[in-house]
Amino acid sequence: MNAHDPAKAVRPGESLEAGTIISYLKEKLPDLEGPVTVRQFHSGFSNLTYLISVGETELVLRRPPFGKKAKTAHDMGREYRILSALKPVFPYVPEPLAYCDDPAVMDVPFYVMERLQGVILRKELPEALVFGASVAGRLCRRWVDVLGDLHGLDYRACGLADLGNPEGYVARQVRGWSKRYRDARTDDVPDFERVMAWLSAGMPPDHPKPALIHNDYKFDNVILDPADLTRIIGVLDWEMATIGDPLMDLGASLGYWVQPDDSEELKLIRTLPTHARGMMTRRQIVELYEKKTGTAINNFAWYYCFGLFRLAVIAQQIYYRFFHGQTTDKRFSMLGVAVGILEKAAEKVMETGEY
């Protein structure tokens, strides 16, 4: 396993018109010079990400996926705007370089940013790296620190006050994600109606201190310094960022957090090394976040349950594309099974109040 997340050959059906794109980029970035190669990062499940090498310069291009897309998802212009606003005040953001919505260049909008070189953690820890329990614990603390720093930003001063409406945010999220699930449901997955009803009945009030939230903050969306694996040098994938409830952000993050005492089924769909020796538990992460932000959290089980449900919706939206033959990516074939496992996990939280 290469810890530096190498790009690979472009998947069939997801190729780019490299000549047209390079001509456009050379207009925007006139110093580009040299032979061109285009490869693809295969790890993501949403927007498609490519590595474009022009001579010694490496650029990262992001574009929406092929096939049916959620109506409000994959807004490249919005994501580019967020990166541009955050770069001066949040040191973990890659530098945005160009945005294009000209159909003569590509049939969908896309943007290009700098490539940040570092370590990205995937399902298993890289054997080539020394990653002991003490490193895992310090990384967890730093991971929470960065999330707390994001939530503490003055989003108005960044020029992002109109990015989202914090009033009624929780209710809109419950209604919106419930509708998305029903719209994307296929006949081979559970209906999630009991979970959706529970979330709707128990909605907390709006957070008194709304924040800029990432909405997909997890280990494989952060880049680590190869010389110090406890140091985060980049945060990626800002497509779902908005202004809203920071506890919803934490709940979404911990929806991915599988720990050693979880069910064997939940462990089967683990995508991150959160089970590794020295990693904090979900409860420890919440306690650390409380200390970092000065926030008292009394009902985190609701936020965690919502995080599990939201993850199931994302998985189902992607599975819908595979189910209907809109993508050939074989990784998507088992996402329907994952949706069923996430429903069971959410129902357990409803029954026990544990997270």
Place of tokens 């310069």: 57
- Cross-strand pairs, 113: 60, 96
Neighbours of 15 (CB within 10 A): 12
Domain boundaries, the chain: 18-114, 133-352
Contact status, residue 109 vs residue 76, Cβ threshold 8 Å: yes
Longest Cα–Cα distance in the chain = 60
Report the candidate in 96, 64, 42, 27 with the shortest Cα–Cα distance to residue 236: 96
Instruction: Return the structure tokens found at 177.
Output: 């994600």
Place of tokens 């896309």: 110
Q: How far apart are CA 51 and CA 97, in angstroms?
A: 14
Query: If the chain, 355 residues long, is cut into consecutive pieces of 10 residues, what is the mean pLDDT of each piece?
Result: 71 92 95 95 82 96 75 79 98 97 95 95 87 95 98 97 96 98 96 98 96 97 95 96 98 98 97 96 98 96 98 94 83 92 98 97
Place of tokens 């199931």: 312
- One-character DSSP codes across 161-192: GGG---TTHHHHHHHHHHHHHHHH--TTS---
Report the candidate in 2, 110, 133 with the shortest Cα–Cα distance to residue 59: 110
300-323 and 193-201 are packed helices; what angle lies between their axes, rounded to 10 degrees?
A: 150
pLDDT of the residue at 302: 98
pLDDT of the residue at 45: 61
CATH for 133-352? 3.90.1200.10
Q: How far apart are CA 313 and CA 339, in angstroms?
A: 8
pLDDT of the residue at 71: 45
Q: How far apart are CA 288 and CA 219, in angstroms?
A: 17
Report the candidate in 265, 258, 252 with the shortest Cα–Cα distance to residue 312: 252
pLDDT of the residue at 41: 92
* DSSP strand pairing (48-54 vs 222-225): unpaired
Q: Say if residue 245 is exposed, middle or buried (CB neighbours under 10 Å; 0-12, 13-18, 19+).
A: buried
Report the candidate in 120, 94, 97 with the shortest Cα–Cα distance to residue 32: 97
Instruction: List all residues 6 or more positions away from 178 whose beta carbon is below 8 Å from its beta carbon.
Output: 196, 199, 200
* CATH architecture for segment(s) 18-114: 2-Layer Sandwich (3.30)
- Length of the chain equals 355
133-151 and 246-254 are packed helices; what angle lies between their axes, rounded to 10 degrees?
A: 150
